[in-house]
Structure 1
Amino acid sequence: MAVVTMKQLLDSGVHFGHQTRRWNPKMKRYILTERNGIYIIDLQQTLSYIDRAYEFVRETVAHGGTIMFVGTKKQAQEAIAEEAGRVNMPYVNQRWLGGMLTNFQTVHKRLQRLKELESMEQTGGFEGRTKKEILMLTREKDKLEKTLGGIRDMSKVPSAVWVVDTKKEHIAVGEARKLGIPVVSILDTNCDPDEVDFPIPGNDDAIRSAALLTKVIARAAADGLMARSARSGGRDGAEGKPEVGSDEPLPEWEQDLLANGGEVGSDGASLSAAGAATEAPNAAAAAAPATTSNGTQSAN
């Protein structure tokens, strides 16, 4: 069974690139044609690259790795938080803080501070303080929660990074490359393919496109978690020394994955439902997506 179908890619507008005057010549090999001043991405190649990225993410997670989901642009924020949350992976969908990867020791200290403030709030640690002190502590907690809440349980740098829009997230991509962390990303026609290890040629500006491809990566992570659990269970029943920690009960979210047969999402919907929450593009948009004055695509 295919990871995703051509129809799903078309319905989500994955094939729409940028205006022909706003492109990176290195992306030429991924472009099928041009229509009404808009580049059209070759979806046959997209399908092939999706399979490659899917297998990489699945194997990475199956062998104990983690995937960090990164997408701070408005069109991707909701999908990033939702899909990463479903498979219990770290994510950043607000502002990327410089050094999140390259200076993780400092970031980890801020995570400890966030947990400390949350514990104080829950256990009455704010009692006996002045209103001003309580207000300042609450604001500090809220600020940390907004910027670091998605990586609160991350104890080390991730094994790979999923990125929506490498130009927008150039700092995150640069940090990952500096540390040798593989980058899996959507490649729009204005991106540099040399920055990405596992590219998926496609539209990174439309809500439905970003949601669909992020769901694909989350599903790959879910399959990896299933494989990891199965491998761990098989070793428990085999002769010899059991793996350290293999006798611990599965977390609730992993039990849900097992119960649902590895499907991402509780409603059992297929990947074609990735864009159901967004408005369907009108007929004119299907012919050629509208562009803004600065040449970027509208999120149809």
Structure 2
Amino acid sequence: MFARTITTRSISIAQIRNKIIPVSARHFSSNNNNNEFREEIFQKYLNAMDHSIRPPEGYNKDNVPPHIDKIGTHKQTFYTPDKPLHSPESSYDITISKLLSAGLHLGHSTSLWNPVTFPFIFGTRAGISIINLEYTIVYLRRACKVVREVALRGGLILFVGTRPGFAQATVEAARRCDGYQVTKRWLPGTISNSRQILGKLTPTHPDDGGGLPEVFKPDLVIVLNPLENAIVLAETKQANIPTIGITDTDFDPRKVTYPIPANDDSVRGITLIAGVLSVAARDGLNHRKKLLKEQEEREAGKLGVVKMMVQAMEESKREEEEMIDNFEETEETKE
């Protein structure tokens, strides 16, 4: 019904007259009342079409739910490509259908399959391993909880995405949670030999130019393409730094502390996961700022109470001194 309605709406009356009337008038070309008969057929067709479009009696648009009133009349795009980049959702709002629309269920060829990823595979189709997104959403929410707790405790979070298509998503994710990012080739020794590698890039202390520069190591490293960053995983393992990585069907998830089984070749999927993780880090950072503000207010209140107690003690001491002076004066006058 709806398909017919939409089709008839797109055809103009002139087109209907040109298409319908000549066909019906072929058999009545010898009749003198041909024009009247053609007009009668045309009016019947228009009335039938108008009756199919017209809502039934007693129809009130205000009483119809919005999701039912829009059925068959409006098309709505379920997935917007630029939304995960600029306004990503939290881990509580993410669903399996959104992961599916981002292409995170597509793995690699079965010839490249790593047997360790067997629990995460739903099946195979056309020679390609299909990832079970039920595991993906569970492991993604677990990783978001880890990121949120690290940000809550003031930890440094480093995003690593060295593929050319991941640069924008990596930069936006780091900017959203006040973290750090690496979008080009990882310099070996950045973590294991940080003082030597980063010594020339780190400014020295203004009062002690000959002192060693202060270097901070990340508390959590999020690797968007761990297959090409084996050096990063080796250095973080040596330094006991936890890692979060997007592991495809051709990668060993045991090399990452918190793996997320998903397609690591989909730019949309990587952007979605990086955005969700950055939102979790931002939530932890905002909660940390709130707790610090409350702590400062409590400390300010305690300082105010201490200050009032000190003032009260000084006033009482001053009153005692005045009483002693008055007592001595009275004793002198008596003598």
Q: Normalized against structure 2, the TM-score is what?
A: 0.58
Verify: 1:214 aligned to 2:278, yes or no.
Answer: no
- How far off is 1:44 after superposition? 0.6
Q: Tell me, in whole angstroms, the C-alpha distance in 1 between the residues paired with 2:299 and 2:202.
A: 40
- How far off is 1:220 after superposition? 1.1
Match of 2:247 in 1: 187
**Structure 1 stretches of 4+ moved >3 Å:** 239-242
Name the amino acid aligned to 2:247. L
Deviations 1:75-129 (A, max 9, x none): 2122111211222211100010000111111233132369xxxxxxxxxxxxxxx
Name the amino acid aligned to 1:96. W
Q: Tell me, in whole angstroms, the C-alpha distance in 2 between the residues paired with 1:69 and 1:53.
A: 14
Q: Tell me, in whole angstroms, the C-alpha distance in 2 between the residues paired with 1:210 and 1:28.
A: 22
Match of 1:197 in 2: 257
21, 33, 39: which one aligns with 2:123? 33
Preserved contact between residue 176 and residue 279 of structure 2 (Cα < 8 Å): no
Deviations 1:184-220 (A, max 9, x none): 0111001111111111110111110111111111111
Match of 2:68 in 1: none
Name the amino acid aligned to 1:188. D
Q: Tell me, in whole angstroms, the C-alpha distance in 1 between the residues paired with 2:245 and 2:260.
A: 6
Q: Tell me, in whole angstroms, the C-alpha distance in 2 between the residues paired with 1:183 and 1:88.
A: 18
Identify unmatched segments of 5+ residues in structure 2.
1-90, 205-213, 303-335
Preserved contact between residue 108 and residue 129 of structure 2 (Cα < 8 Å): yes
Match of 1:257 in 2: none
Q: Tell me, in whole angstroms, the C-alpha distance in 2 between the residues paired with 1:180 and 1:200.
A: 19
Preserved contact between residue 165 and residue 188 of structure 1 (Cα < 8 Å): no
Deviations 1:130-156 (A, max 9, x none): xxxxxxxxxxxxxxxxxxxxxxxx941
User: More displaced, 25-34 or 70-79?
Assistant: 70-79
Q: Tell me, in whole angstroms, the C-alpha distance in 2 between the residues paired with 1:101 and 1:77.
A: 21
Q: Normalized against structure 1, the TM-score is what?
A: 0.64
Match of 2:158 in 1: 68
Q: Using the aligned pairs only, state the percent identity.
A: 35
Preserved contact between residue 70 and residue 92 of structure 1 (Cα < 8 Å): yes
Identify unmatched segments of 5+ residues in structure 1.
115-153, 243-300
Q: How many residues align?
A: 204
Of the two structures, which has the highest relative contact order with CA contacts closer than 8 Å and spacing of 6 or more? 1
Q: Tell me, in whole angstroms, the C-alpha distance in 2 between the residues paired with 1:72 and 1:225.
A: 25
Verify: 1:11 aligned to 2:97, yes or no.
Answer: no
Preserved contact between residue 83 and residue 218 of structure 1 (Cα < 8 Å): yes
Larger radius of gyration: 2
Name the amino acid aligned to 1:37. G
| CA RMSD across the alignment | 2.1
Give secondary structure in 2 for the equivalent of 1:111: coil
Deviations 1:261-297 (A, max 9, x none): xxxxxxxxxxxxxxxxxxxxxxxxxxxxxxxxxxxxx
Match of 1:231 in 2: 291
